[in-house]
Amino acid sequence: MTLSGVLKDILLVVASMVIFFDPVSPLQAFGYSIALGGLVYYKLGGERIKGYVAEGQRSWTDYGVKHPIMRKVIVFGTVLLTIFVIFGGLAPTIAPEYDAYAKQKLAETTKLSSLWNGE
């Protein structure tokens, strides 16, 4: 029962990101990915995960033998994407935009709560 609660929480956050465009910080995304990884590990067990990883490694090796140039392109693209994501996450322009958004949401919440309280 607890596992379905964790999955429900993760799906709720993803739905709010998609429907309401709520921002999620990188730290929050990292935390949810850890929770989801733990959920998968608990559900499948360590031995089955090791089997899936070994099967994936064999498939990746077979793909590299059949398509060596495409495999190099995929690895290079993944490294390049990772570098862009890491350096893009460290960019200082994100904080002011999020700060303005947070202040706007806080002001809206304060207005709504004062209306509900009859003030």
Give the domain extent around 88: 46-94
What are the tens digits of pLDDT across the range 22-77? 888 888 888 888 988 888 888 888 888 899 999 999 999 999 999 999 999 999 99
pLDDT of residue 102: 75
Say if residue 56 is in the same domain as residue 82. Answer: yes
What are the tens digits of pLDDT across the range 83-114? 888 777 666 555 566 677 777 777 777 665 56
Instruction: Choose among 75, 85, 83, 98: nearest CA to 24.
Output: 98
pLDDT of residue 60: 93
Assigned domain for 101 exists: no
Say if residue 38 is in the same domain as residue 19. Answer: yes
Assigned domain for 40 exists: yes
SS3 content of the chain, % helix, strand, coil (to 5): 85, 0, 15
Mutual orientation of helices 26-44 and 2-20 as an angle, nearest 10°? 140
Say if residue 36 is in the same domain as residue 51. Answer: no
Say if residue 50 is in the same domain as residue 20. Answer: no
DSSP structural state of residue 106 = H
Assigned domain for 32 exists: yes
Say if residue 37 is in the same domain as residue 56. Answer: no
Q: What's the pTM value of the predicted model, to 2 decimals?
A: 0.48
Assigned domain for 63 exists: yes
Assigned domain for 102 exists: no
Say if residue 7 is in the same domain as residue 18. Answer: yes
Say if residue 56 is in the same domain as residue 79. Answer: yes
Assigned domain for 107 exists: no
CA distance 26 to 91: 12
